[in-house]
Amino acid sequence: MKAKTYLAVDIGAGSGRVIALSYDGRRLNAETVCRFPNAPVELGGHIFWDIPRLVSDVRAGLAEATAKYGGNVASVGIDTWGVDYVLVDKAGRMLSLPYAYRDSRNSPDTMEKVFSIAGRRRLYDRTGIQFMPFNTVFQLYSESREPCSLIDFADRLLFVPDYLNYALCGAMENEFTISSTSQLVNAGTRDWDGELLGVLGIPERLFRKTVMPGTILGPVRGVSGLEGVPVVAVGSHDTASAVASVPAVSGRSWGYIATGTWALMGVVASHAVINDLSYELSYTHEASVDGAFRFLKNCTGMWLVQQLREDWRAQDGCDTGFEELMREAMREKPFGFFIDPDFREFQSPGDMSGKFMRYFGSTGQKTEASRGQLFRAAMEGVVMRYREVWSELQQLTGGALESLNMIGGATKDAMHCQLTADALGVEVECGPVEGAAMGNALAQMKGLGDISDFGQGRNLVNESIEKQYWRPDTQSSEKWDEAYSRWKEIRGSAAAS
């Protein structure tokens, strides 16, 4: 067969990429065409996403890919992070830059106001979504209470990838997986929860029936050489696309962890797991590309080490690579310091090393630490949280999980992978590195009829990549047990202080 190329636009909270995935009838090969930054802009004390810049960078990246792959390009798909949205008027004009999810407006106080109206437990039972201050439901409630709310002038709400699709092909659609991150989709009906919207005073006119991954939206406009090439709705939430790419072996029980700034650990479930324990532990039910649930916990991932690196770059005036920092951390004694990666103060940018030191002081730990010790504390804290979530998942789903599939950029970090295997005491299968882009391409292939379903897509990924396996060091299991107990004690003391 003639080779086909699918262009995957994959944008995270820090950067974006255009990746070309070429299919020769047997294997799918990924090549990064270009990268571009995605930094929020500060205006009036708030931070917003620079959507016009993103649109420009996406078009430029697609043009660069077209120059290389030309007539082989079969389609285009876009995935991004979740929850953030753009409001547009009846003429399709963007009313404002969208607030970034880490903006100060997204506070626990707003959550409490929504709980007082909709009911905390009732909100969870209806949506099955983990409570986080930046969820769309809380952002929209904040917007509705503004003195001159943009909602009054809005005709449609488009999530960030929905808006980028609209800018590229003119179709205004809400894709299903990105919509499910909003905490506005009913877990039972799998549609917008009209009753919840009414209680909170959010107009239903902003939303339309969601479309599934694999839906062809329309032809590309405004990119020379791509005219007529279809834009396909993919798993527009990057984690949905990443999970679609997991090359899991049929018949074996498995969990996944999609790594990046965030770490999302979970299983694919055919039905919702909404009960007292899932509510107490705040597990979430986001949509998978095939309509099932991604039953997962959203944890802090590489954010901590990214921020530490930013601190040191500002202090030293040089950019130390992750490999060098990892070597420094590996030279340090294990379990010298303990941190809770989900601690509230760690979630805002800036002065991460100072925040670590203050955390150490408030929890009775030493307050002097080297760069390697800080890096190691961050990595060990992250995998301690993995261990806790892995145990909870098995308790919630009622069965043992035989393997963990790790996907995303952090699979390239040997220290991270080995620590994960050791902390969980389970074999970790790593790959693909470009998980979101692979899953993005699979939805395009399904839309064009090149694969019949996502199960066939997983098999294709399995044939296309070389997985790496990390096995736990069984001789260190007692030390990990002791350290895990100590980690939980320190986390409890931080929460009480």
Complete DSSP assignment for 203-228:
-GGG----B-TT-EEEE--SSTT-TT
Instruction: Identify whether 394 is part of a domain.
Output: yes
Let me know whether 121 and 63 are in one domain: yes
Let me know whether 182 and 310 are in one domain: no
Instruction: Identify whether 461 is part of a domain.
Output: no
Query: Which DSSP symbol is given to 271?
Result: S
**Residues ≥6 apart with Cβ < 8 Å to 286:** 82, 129, 177, 180, 181, 237, 239, 240, 293, 294, 296
Instruction: Identify whether 448 is part of a domain.
Output: no
**Tokens at residue 308, please?**
């530490």
Query: Which DSSP symbol is given to 409?
Result: G
Let me know whether 315 and 413 are in one domain: yes
Instruction: Identify whether 449 is part of a domain.
Output: no
CA distance 451 to 454: 8
Residue 268 in contact with residue 292, Cβ under 8 Å? yes
For the chain, the domain total comes to 2
C-alpha angle 154-209-94 in degrees, rounded to nearest 5: 25
DSSP-derived pairing of the beta strands 254-259 and 403-408: parallel
Residue 291 in contact with residue 190, Cβ under 8 Å? yes
Let me know whether 252 and 234 are in one domain: no
Q: Computed from CA positions of residues 165, 260, 84, 455, in that sequence, does the dihedral angle turn out positive or negative?
A: positive
CA distances for 71 relative to 3, 192, 221, 225, angstroms: 10, 39, 16, 8
**Residues ≥6 apart with Cβ < 8 Å to 98:** 48, 49, 51, 84, 85, 86, 87, 160
**Tokens at residue 41, please?**
């802009």
- Of 238, 260, 286, which marks where a domain is finished? 238
Residues with active-site annotation: 238
Residue 394 in contact with residue 387, Cβ under 8 Å? no
Is residue 178 classed exposed, middle or buried when 0-12, 13-18 and 19+ CB atoms within 10 A define those classes? buried
DSSP-derived pairing of the beta strands 254-259 and 262-269: antiparallel
Residue-number span of the structural domain to which 148 is assigned: 4-238
Per-residue confidence (pLDDT) for residue 180, from 0 to 100: 98
Name residue 266's beta-bridge partners. 256, 296
Instruction: Identify whether 180 is part of a domain.
Output: yes
Instruction: Give the three-class secondary structure for 453.
Output: coil
Let me know whether 44 and 120 are in one domain: yes
Per-residue confidence (pLDDT) for residue 342, from 0 to 100: 94
Of 467, 458, 417, the C-alpha closest to 438 is: 458
Let me know whether 155 and 220 are in one domain: yes
Of 469, 393, 480, the C-alpha closest to 429 is: 469
Instruction: Identify whether 451 is part of a domain.
Output: no
Per-residue confidence (pLDDT) for residue 261, from 0 to 100: 87
Is residue 378 classed exposed, middle or buried when 0-12, 13-18 and 19+ CB atoms within 10 A define those classes? buried
Let me know whether 488 and 347 are in one domain: yes
CA distances for 489 relative to 353, 358, 482, angstroms: 22, 17, 11
Let me know whether 36 and 115 are in one domain: yes
**Tokens at residue 209, please?**
């029936």
- Of 193, 209, 238, which marks where a domain is finished? 238
CA distances for 13 relative to 187, 249, 325, 368, angstroms: 26, 31, 22, 31
Instruction: Give the three-class secondary structure for 386.
Output: helix
Let me know whether 157 and 186 are in one domain: yes
Q: Which CATH number fits the domain that encloses residue 379? A: 3.30.420.40
Residue 33 in contact with residue 46, Cβ under 8 Å? no
Per-residue pLDDT of the chain (497 residues; tens, 9 = 90+): 678 999 999 999 889 999 999 999 999 999 999 999 999 999 999 999 999 999 999 999 999 999 999 889 999 999 999 999 999 999 999 999 999 999 999 999 999 999 999 999 999 999 999 999 999 999 999 999 999 999 999 999 999 999 999 999 999 999 999 999 999 999 999 999 999 999 999 999 999 999 999 999 999 999 999 999 999 999 999 999 999 999 987 667 899 999 988 899 999 999 999 999 999 999 999 999 999 999 999 999 999 999 999 999 999 888 888 899 999 999 999 999 999 999 999 998 899 999 999 999 999 999 999 999 999 999 999 999 999 999 999 999 998 898 899 999 889 899 999 999 999 999 999 999 999 999 999 999 999 999 999 999 999 999 999 999 999 999 999 999 999 999 999 999 988 77
Instruction: Identify whether 271 is part of a domain.
Output: yes
**Tokens at residue 255, please?**
């969990």
Let me know whether 155 and 175 are in one domain: yes
This prediction's pTM: 0.92
Within a 10 A sphere around the Cβ of 439, how many other Cβ atoms?
35
- Of 210, 238, 266, which marks where a domain is finished? 238
Per-residue confidence (pLDDT) for residue 456, from 0 to 100: 95
Q: What is the dihedral of CA 2, 437, 243, 210, to 10 degrees?
A: -90
Instruction: Identify whether 436 is part of a domain.
Output: no
CA distances for 377 relative to 82, 417, 453, angstroms: 28, 15, 42
Is residue 335 classed exposed, middle or buried when 0-12, 13-18 and 19+ CB atoms within 10 A define those classes? middle
Let me know whether 75 and 36 are in one domain: yes
Let me know whether 260 and 397 are in one domain: yes
> What is the residue whose two structure tokens read 């064009």?
448
Q: In what order do the strands lie in the sheet with 468-470?
A: 284-287, 293-300, 262-269, 254-259, 403-408, 428-430, 468-470
